[in-house]
A and B are shown apart, each in its own frame.
Chain A
């Protein structure tokens, strides 16, 4: 067990929200075709409100803070918030499209001790990337920004969301990442829009393509090991928690709403009305999420994949039940190992999840390839 894993276990044992994902705005200068957010401002928290929440998070024990959006730099006070967060000794990561980052912004991020900047890149080809972001010149601007950031010595990672429009370009983005000297991550997760509109799920890559991703050595390393059949689950697996959501992780929206995770839209309180620690400790919604063990899952507890599946309770919740299966993850386990999930067998068709375009969730994988 690494030191970090030891501290994560301690945070779990003590009920400490060690990591918080904080979207400071939903406004954005890009209009990505797959984005699930409503970019209008419906009353974002003020600078003072966010500073107060940051103080509450520090008091609650939060160590890892991710600032995201929307595009974080759409807030004119972003650097004021960042400076305040660093004064409170958070380890800060930023998720951004980087279009608004030039040398002065990169320098300021370095001065403030930002731990990592994650930049979204969809393709190495401007015609593909810019068509996804609907912002002409955005690939050029984002790549320039990565150079500004790395020249300062900041750690940058490229996040490549995969969808039908760019599913042949992952190798090109990987090569771009190598050229820039930064790590590369791939994520084919497409989620429904916040208003429930599932039309963007048509952008999900087909299951066969997902299988190709899982069997790509440059992405997963040892393919035989990564795609091995799941071992029989033991008692530790069945008594285990599905993920860190609500255990050591929380999500806060620009309007102050608290959720178990950015991908788990279960409203659990609002920091404009309550202190964060009161929501964290007493929210019935968060406590319900915390109560669920693998043995409690209605279908997945009898599935051979239960110990190795990356089942996302948030995606399961969007499908209808936080204790139920996430068909997107069933699809993932199937295309990784070739073994049908209990949910697929129950439905009588091992491939049905791959064809179901009306499903309320998308495949969820996050693979980080090493820098060559």
Chain B
């Protein structure tokens, strides 16, 4: 496990629209209307991005456990996913937990 994951937290931006559709998350940026869909693994990470759960715990508990993926592969994939969504501003990344008011509510499946 890479040490950098231990202290990272991810949170959904409030400037988005989102809904689950057939097991995949649809997301639209309210800033520029860019439209995204997440596959089931990424959707699980997205839903767990509550701003206060360490990313390492999300990967271990939600991805590795639910999808039977080895930790190294899971971390690599999640890292890529987090970087991509954060570059669009729809996922926030911090080394400290986020205050509750800064994040979007959880989307029901």
Tell me whether A61 and B30 are in contact in the complex, defined as CB-CB below 8 angstroms, given that A7-B37, A89-B105 are known contacts. Answer: no
Tell me whether A3 and B21 are in contact in the complex, defined as CB-CB below 8 angstroms, given that A58-B108, A115-B28, A115-B30 are known contacts. Answer: no
Q: Check: B104 CB closer than 8 A to any chain A CB.
A: yes
Q: Are B17 and A4 in contact (CB under 8 A)?
A: no
Interface residues of A in 83-126 (CB under 8 A from B): 86-92, 113-116
Q: Are A61 and B20 in contact (CB under 8 A)?
A: yes
Tell me whether A10 and B35 are in contact in the complex, defined as CB-CB below 8 angstroms, given that A58-B108, A89-B17, A115-B17 are known contacts. Answer: no
Q: Are A61 and B19 in contact (CB under 8 A)?
A: yes
Q: What are the interface flags for B30-51 relative to A under an 8 Å C-beta threshold, 1 for contact and 0 otherwise?
A: 1001011100000000000000
Q: B108 to chain A: which residues have CB within 8 Å?
A: 58-59
Tell me whether A7 and B16 are in contact in the complex, defined as CB-CB below 8 angstroms, given that A59-B108, A89-B107 are known contacts. Answer: no
Docked CA distance A16–B105 (Å): 22
Contacts across chains A and B counted by CB atoms under 8 Å: 58
Tell me whether A10 and B30 are in contact in the complex, defined as CB-CB below 8 angstroms, given that A89-B105, A91-B17, A113-B15 are known contacts. Answer: no
- Interface size counted on chain B using CB atoms at 8 A: 20
Closest partner residue, chain B, to A85 (CB atom): B17
- Interface class of chain B by DSSP: strand
Q: Are A89 and B20 in contact (CB under 8 A)?
A: no
Closest partner residue, chain A, to B36 (CB atom): A3
Which of B17, B35, B36, B37 has the most A CB atoms < 10 Å from its CB?
Answer: B17
Docked CA distance A10–B24 (Å): 10
Q: Are A89 and B18 in contact (CB under 8 A)?
A: yes
Q: Check: A176 CB closer than 8 A to any chain B CB.
A: no
Q: A145 to chain B: which residues have CB within 8 Å?
A: none
Q: Check: A18 CB closer than 8 A to any chain B CB.
A: yes
Interface residues of B in 1-33 (CB under 8 A from A): 14-22, 26, 28, 30, 33
Q: Are B33 and A155 in contact (CB under 8 A)?
A: yes
Docked CA distance A63–B20 (Å): 9
Closest partner residue, chain A, to B18 (CB atom): A89
Q: Are B17 and A90 in contact (CB under 8 A)?
A: yes
Q: What are the interface flags for B65-88 relative to A under an 8 Å C-beta threshold, 1 for contact and 0 otherwise?
A: 000000000000000000000000
Nearest CB on B from A71, distance (A): 23
Q: Are B28 and A10 in contact (CB under 8 A)?
A: no
- Which listed residue, B16, B22, B35, B37, touches A89 by the CB 8 Å rule? B16
Which 10 residue pairs are nearest across A and B when measured between Cβ atoms?
A113-B30, A91-B17, A63-B19, A89-B18, A91-B28, A113-B15, A10-B22, A14-B22, A89-B17, A4-B35
Report which A residues bind B (CB closer than 8 A): 3-4, 6-7, 10-11, 13-14, 16, 18, 58-59, 61-63, 86-92, 113-116, 155
Q: 14 A-B pairs, CB-CB below 8 angstroms?
A: A3-B37, A7-B37, A11-B21, A14-B22, A61-B20, A63-B17, A63-B21, A88-B105, A89-B17, A89-B104, A92-B17, A113-B15, A113-B17, A115-B17
